[in-house]
A and B are shown apart, each in its own frame.
Chain A
Amino acid sequence: MSKVRVLVGTRKGAFILTSDGMRESWNVSGPHFSGWEVYHLKGSPVDPNRLYASQSSAWSGQVIQRSNDGGDTWAPVGNKFVYEGVAGTHQWYDGTPHPWEFKRVWHLEPSLTDPDTVYAGVEDAAFFKSTDGGQNWQELPGLRGHGSGPRWQPGAGGMCLHTIMPDPTNPDRIFIAISAAGAFRTDDSGQTWQPINKGLYSQYIPEPTADVGHCVHHMAFHKSRPNVLFMQKHWDVMRSDDAGDSWHEVSGNLPTDFGFVIDVNSNEPDTIYVVPIKSDAEHFPPEGKLRVYRSRTGGNEWEALTNGLPQSNCYVNVFRDAMAVDSLDKCGVYFGTTGGQVYASSDAGDNWAPIVRDLPAVLSVEVQTLE
């Protein structure tokens, strides 16, 4: 029978939640790396027991942990992230040039084909790669060297590369996103990159349709259809049908199109999920009602999913990497909140229940479906 393993990164450690395919009864393991911020952890698609975790703190910087047994035991691996060449400058909040400085790893993306190869998206935004299981890291400097780097700027959470999506149908193609620079695509395994932000409109930058500067919060695709991309931008939910060459808005009837997470049902490529957040200043659900919105039409037409979610006095946020789906039938959908709840739906969002209620603030949620 299938099993599900949910990997949860929080402000004060990591937790691993496991269940059988029924997804009704859960075992909770943790905290791992107690007291540290765990921005992200994720397993290898080709060796599910190979996990990577990003552990960091203001006191002691960045640590990368690796497990070879599904998270039962961990060992620190390499944590030296050094920018290639002259680091250069990006825009600071006040518009002045600011030197690139490594702060932390926001996202770890294991290769689709090799358990020892893993990508890291970091703050200040850059793209790193390890081919030896995380022992050594090299920047692929073509991204920062694209030429637009001096115009990138930090969002409120920092200038982070937070989304990495290798194309399962094209080993040379990877999509990434940066707050606040926008989305980029490589078609040569990371050597060169192009911004893919045509169609985005952002009133908070001097030129709202500029090629870079957009605060993309998250992106997702269905693995069978990687040319169709979905994006939750700072404001606006967007869709591209041409691998990012152009975007159009699909916010439709959402109560607000601000938010952080977006994901795609593993069985239905046109079924997507977002969690609307009231505004950039009010990072909580509208009306104090925690609602996941689902579109079965690839956007524009949205329905509120509320069964099992708090519908009064709920003022949590759901961070950008804190939603994931399993690959069972029906699709399981999971998300974590800044209030420490991890909610799960085993029926594609129709009904929800908390797996845990009182973790530290959840930073990330990933799911592994295990045979």
Chain B
Amino acid sequence: MIRVYLPGHLRTLANINGEVEIEIQGPVTQRSVLDALELRYPALQGTIRDHVSGKRRSFLRFFACQEDLSHESPDAPLPDAVVSGAEPFLVVGAIAGG
């Protein structure tokens, strides 16, 4: 079970309370986690990754296990602790004021 933690404004948008837990069949990567997340919560489509380019929105960051994974390949395996559910995959709003 993969645990995903979203910023407050996206939890509100998708009517999510707390962390999301999702099952992934196959490799656990940023792409597979976000694909599964958007499948369950269609309102999140386009809000974490750009609709056209598929790239992470520049003011959002991906953290896990106290590491910044934002610039890793979207197809790179996520850390074992995320795969096992010991640690969450964090989608975090960048510190950009406002």
Contacts and interface: CB of A to CB of B under 8 A. Distances in A.
A60 B57 contact: yes
A35 interface: yes
B60 A80 contact: no
A76 B93 CA distance: 20
Interface in B29-76: 43, 45-48, 50-52, 57, 59-60
Contact of B7 (A34, A59, A102): A59
A57 interface: yes
Q: Is the interface of A mostly helix, strand, loop or mixed?
A: loop
B28 interface: no
B20 interface: no
B12 interface: yes
A192 interface: no
Q: How large is the interface on A (under 10, 10 to 19, 20 to 34, 35 or more residues)?
A: 10 to 19
A82 B51 contact: yes
Interface residues of B, number: 21
Among B13, B48, B93, the most chain A Cβ lie within 10 Å of the Cβ of B13
B43 A63 contact: yes
A36 B50 contact: no
Contacts of A102: 52
B46 A58 contact: no
A36 B9 CA distance: 8
A35 B11 CA distance: 13
Contacts of A82: 51-52
B56 to A, nearest CB: 11
Nearest to A101: B52
A218 B60 CA distance: 34
Interface in A223-269: none
10 contacts: A35-B9, A36-B9, A57-B9, A59-B7, A60-B13, A60-B57, A63-B43, A80-B45, A80-B51, A102-B52
Interface of B: 7-10, 12-13, 43, 45-48, 50-52, 57, 59-60, 93-94, 96, 98
Given A61-B46, A79-B47, 19 more contacts: A34-B12, A35-B8, A58-B96, A59-B7, A59-B9, A59-B59, A59-B60, A60-B13, A60-B48, A60-B60, A61-B47, A61-B50, A63-B13, A63-B47, A79-B46, A79-B51, A80-B45, A82-B51, A82-B52
